[in-house]
């Protein structure tokens, strides 16, 4: 069994008394696309900077293909980084920026420039070699930063929110391009983002972080379907979180009443939470429907969001949100009394 | 309307700055044996007198060599200090920064007296080295102050990018850091050079009859005599400064002083 490309073990880092990373463990395989996802201050950028070598962790280790690089300075690590602000050298032309890496690794000027030309062609900027960074648009600068990082053909590329400065349309396009490029080159990407859609679109596996800890690692759809913690359920997509407990007879008591559901998974802890995604909640103006658990509710808000409609319905003290993508039944108006229903199997239980 | 007003005000300000120079250069050309403006007749006698006077020539040389050496050493002190202060956290960082900057707020006379007293104790007085040490102390803050603001976070991320691409620290400094702070070093060096060139209060403690700088010589001279010689010396000084600025503009471009590229 070969060593994984990147192996992070028990990594911790404090800033003063503030724990920025605590006990982080992560493995990344060759050619994998990993997204580090979380709100600002969750430690994702700190983790990236530890991998790059700009920060020294307090404890724990970082191995790249088995070699311990924890104490190595950045310039000796076999990886490259695309910085959030691109960090292009303003006093160098585009080709000199891209040739900088090969030059530092001992290539002759001629070889370095020819490698730079190849990398620039790869990102579609062949005609821009002689320009200076300030003469380029944000999107073009982003491509130069990418070319400069991949020209060395590292096995591992770190990207620190590289798309955050681009406008929405361009960002969507670059996401797809970046994903294609990553597959073509076979370089493993560790991609920091706070944009969950970006993470779910691009990554093979998503690492959700909060408060310096890894909350969950998994494929995007698994994280969405089966969040491991309350934080993940709340952070990824929209969710109805229903506090609940399991009764002695094995059925479920939730904040919207007792359900004749016998959950297959029984997480530890007394304060359980049932997660129900809005698209799993049906609105039933005519009452019950076979196969669904239903509870009576009153419509509080009907919110049109273009492609779909979000309906908030009150059940006692709890508000349940339903997402309706097709035609909204005529009876669903503010103040209407109806039933909300869901498939018992869709309930996902989370322990404490 | 507003633009016109701004132009008039700036022209007036410029005129106010330039007029004394016109007066001093004008008086250096006077025929009379006393300072007169407008000059009575035109002669270069006083310039001739200055150029042929060995004591003037030697104090010009002393001042120039002193300012050049002091500026060079100040750059060697200030740039690493600025890097340390901007890039690292270490105990005594604020103290170091305050000490390096303190000559800016201390009266130079006080510094001069202190240096003389200390110099006497260690046998470093009234020679070129004593002058040099004092000048380095007072001009280092000028370079430091000009370089520090250029070591921004943005600049730091350029250095990180260089390290990330395999650039070792020394390579990173010369290929990435230095080109970015060059304009700061240059403008700081010009201020430093001029501060050294014009200094009287500090130099006066360590100059002798044989070893003296041009401002100290002028200062001593005007205590006893006022004749057009001093105007001629001043005119030469102005000419040298103007030449330096013009040469800098042609070689490096003075735009590097006004804006970060």
Residue A336 has pLDDT above 60, yes or no: yes
Closest of A314, A307, A178, A236 to residue A38, by C-alpha:
A236
Check CB contact under 8 Å for A104 and B154.
no
Residue from A55, A74, A78 whose CB has the most chain B CBs within 10 Å, to mutate: A74
Distance from the Cα of B167 to chain A's closest Cα (Å) equals 6
3-state secondary structure chain A: CCCCCEEEEEEEEEECCEEEEEEEEEEECCCCEEEEECCCCCCHHHHHHHHHCCCCCCEEEEEECCEECCCCCHHHCCEEEECCCCCCCCCCCHHHHHHHHHHHCCCCHHHHHHHHHHHHHHCCCHHHCCCCHHHCCHHHHHHHHHHHHHCCCCCEEEEECCCCCCCHHHHHHHHHHHHHHHHHHCCEEEEEECCHHHHHHHCCEEEEEECCEEEEEECHHHHHHCCCCHHHHHHCCCCEEEEEEECCCCCEEECCEEECCCCCCCCCCCCEEEEECHHHCEEECCCCCCCCEEEEEEEEEEEECCCCEEEEEEECCEEEEEEECCCCCCCCCCCCEEEEEECHHHCEEECC
Residues A226/A348, Cβ–Cβ less than 8 Å: yes
Mean pLDDT, to the nearest integer, of A88-108?
95
Chains A–B, number of C-beta pairs less than 8 Å apart: 57
Closest of B25, B64, B68 to residue B47, by C-alpha:
B25
% of chain A with per-residue pLDDT over 70: 97
Report the alpha-carbon distance of residue A335 to residue A50 in Å, rounded.
Answer: 54
Neighbouring-strand partners of residue A259: A252
Check CB contact under 8 Å for B166 and A75.
yes
Is the bond preceding residue B38 a cis peptide, omega within 30 degrees?
Answer: yes
CB atoms within 10 A of CB A238: 12
- The residues, any chain, with a CB within 8 Å of residue B129's CB and separated by 6 or more, are none
Distance from the Cα of B82 to chain A's closest Cα (Å) equals 20
Contacts of B181 in chain A (CB under 8 A): none
Residue in chain B nearest A84 by alpha carbon: B157
Distance from the Cα of A63 to chain B's closest Cα (Å) equals 17
Query: Which pLDDT belongs to residue A56?
Result: 94
Residue A29 has pLDDT above 70, yes or no: yes
- In terms of pLDDT, which residue wins out, B58 or A287? B58
Residues of chain B with pLDDT under 50: 259-261
Check CB contact under 8 Å for A152 and B166.
yes
Residue A263 has pLDDT above 70, yes or no: no
Residues in chain A: 352
Lowest mean pLDDT among A214-223, A256-265, B187-196: A256-265
Report the alpha-carbon distance of residue A122 to residue A346 in Å, rounded.
Answer: 44
Contacts of B153 in chain A (CB under 8 A): none
Residue in chain B nearest A76 by alpha carbon: B166
Query: Which pLDDT belongs to residue A109?
Result: 95
> How does residue A65 score in pLDDT terms, banded at 50, 70 and 90?
very high
CB atoms within 10 A of CB B30: 23
Distance from the Cα of A292 to chain B's closest Cα (Å) equals 56
- In this complex, is the C-beta atom of B157 within 8 Å of any C-beta atom belonging to chain A? yes
**Sign (positive/negative) of CA torsion A271, A274, A278, A281?**
negative
Query: Which pLDDT belongs to residue A293?
Result: 83
Domain B44-257 - what CATH class?
mainly alpha
Mean pLDDT, to the nearest integer, of A238-261?
81
Q: Name which of A87, A105, A152 is nearest B157 (Cβ-Cβ).
A: A87
* Residue A237: both structure tokens together: 């997509």
Query: Which pLDDT belongs to residue B261?
Result: 41
Query: Which pLDDT belongs to residue B260?
Result: 43
* Residue B60: both structure tokens together: 């010009």
Element (DSSP H or E) covering residue B231: helix B228-251
Interval A140-199: pLDDT, tens: 999 999 999 999 999 999 999 999 888 888 899 999 999 999 999 999 999 999 999 999
Check CB contact under 8 Å for A83 and B166.
no
Q: Which residues of A touch B (CB under 8 A)?
A: 52-54, 73-75, 80-81, 83, 85, 87-91, 100-101, 104-105, 148-149, 152
Check CB contact under 8 Å for A104 and B161.
no
- DSSP output for B132-158: HHHHHHHHHHHHHHHHGGGS-HHHHHH
- In this complex, is the C-beta atom of B248 within 8 Å of any C-beta atom belonging to chain A? no
Cα B119 off chain centre by: 23
Query: Which pLDDT belongs to residue B71?
Result: 95
Check CB contact under 8 Å for A104 and B163.
no
Q: Name which of B163, B179, B261 is nearest A74 (Cβ-Cβ).
A: B163
Q: How many CA atoms within 13 Å lie on the side-chain side of A50?
A: 32
């Amino acid at each position: 069994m070969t060593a994984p490309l990147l192996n992070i073990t028990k990594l911790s880092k404090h800033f003063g008394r503030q724990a920025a990373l605590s006990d982080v463990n992560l493995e990344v395989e060759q050619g994998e696309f990993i997204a580090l996802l979380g709100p600002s201050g969750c430690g994702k950028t700190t983790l990236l900077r530890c991998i790059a070598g700009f920060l020294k962790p307090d404890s724990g280790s970082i191995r790249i293909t088995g070699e311990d690089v924890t104490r190595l300075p950045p310039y000796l690590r076999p990886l490259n980084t695309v910085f959030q602000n691109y960090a292009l050298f303003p006093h160098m032309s585009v080709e000199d920026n891209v040739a900088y890496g090969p030059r530092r690794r001992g290539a002759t000027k001629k070889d370095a420039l020819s490698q730079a030309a190849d990398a620039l062609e790869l990102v579609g900027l062949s005609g821009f070699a002689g320009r200076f960074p300030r003469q380029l648009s944000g999107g073009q600068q982003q491509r130069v930063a990418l070319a400069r990082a991949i020209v060395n053909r590292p096995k591992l590329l770190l990207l620190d929110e590289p798309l955050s400065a681009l406008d929405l349309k361009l960002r969507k396009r670059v996401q797809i391009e970046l994903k294609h490029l990553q597959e073509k080159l076979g370089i493993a990407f560790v991609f920091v983002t706070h944009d969950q859609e970006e993470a779910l679109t691009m990554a093979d596996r998503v690492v959700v972080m909060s408060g310096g800890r890894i909350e969950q690692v998994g494929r995007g759809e698994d994280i969405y379907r089966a969040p491991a913690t309350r934080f993940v359920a709340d952070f990824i997509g929209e969710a109805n979180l229903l506090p609940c407990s399991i009764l002695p007879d094995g059925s479920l008591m939730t904040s919207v009443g007792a359900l004749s559901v016998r959950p297959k998974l029984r997480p530890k802890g007394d304060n359980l939470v049932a997660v129900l995604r809005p698209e799993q909640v049906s609105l039933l103006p005519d009452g019950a429907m076979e196969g669904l658990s239903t509870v009576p509710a009153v419509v509080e808000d009907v919110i049109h969001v273009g492609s779909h409609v979000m309906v908030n319905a009150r059940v006692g003290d709890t508000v349940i949100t339903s997402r309706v993508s097709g035609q909204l039944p005529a009876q669903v108006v503010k103040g209407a009394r109806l039933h909300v229903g869901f498939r018992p199997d869709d309930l996902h239980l989370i322990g404490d | 309307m507003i633009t016109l007003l701004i132009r008039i005000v700036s022209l007036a300000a410029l005129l106010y700055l330039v007029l004394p120079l016109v007066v001093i250069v004008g008086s250096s050309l006077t025929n009379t044996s006393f300072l007169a403006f407008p000059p009575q007749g035109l002669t270069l006698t006083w310039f001739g007198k200055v150029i042929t006077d060995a004591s003037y020539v030697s104090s010009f040389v002393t001042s120039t060599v002193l300012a050049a050496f002091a500026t060079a050493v100040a750059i060697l002190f200030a740039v690493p200090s600025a890097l340390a202060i901007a890039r690292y956290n270490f105990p005594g960082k604020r103290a170091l920064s305050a000490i390096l900057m303190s000559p800016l707020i201390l009266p130079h006379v006080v510094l001069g007296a202190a240096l003389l007293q200390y110099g006497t104790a260690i046998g470093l007085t009234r020679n070129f080295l004593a002058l040099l040490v004092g000048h380095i102390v007072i001009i280092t803050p000028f370079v430091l102050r000009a370089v520090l603001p250029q070591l921004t976070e943005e600049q730091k991320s350029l250095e990180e990018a260089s390290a990330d691409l395999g650039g070792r620290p020394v390579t990173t400094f010369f290929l990435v850091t230095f080109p970015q702070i060059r304009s700061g070093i240059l403008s700081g060096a010009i201020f430093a050079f001029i501060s050294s060139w014009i200094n009287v209060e500090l130099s006066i403690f360590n100059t002798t009859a044989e070893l003296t700088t041009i401002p100290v010589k002028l200062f001593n001279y005007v205590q006893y005599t006022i004749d057009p010689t001093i105007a001629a010396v001043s005119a030469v000084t102005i000419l040298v400064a103007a030449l330096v600025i013009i040469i800098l503009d042609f070689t490096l471009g003075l735009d590097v002083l006004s804006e970060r590229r």
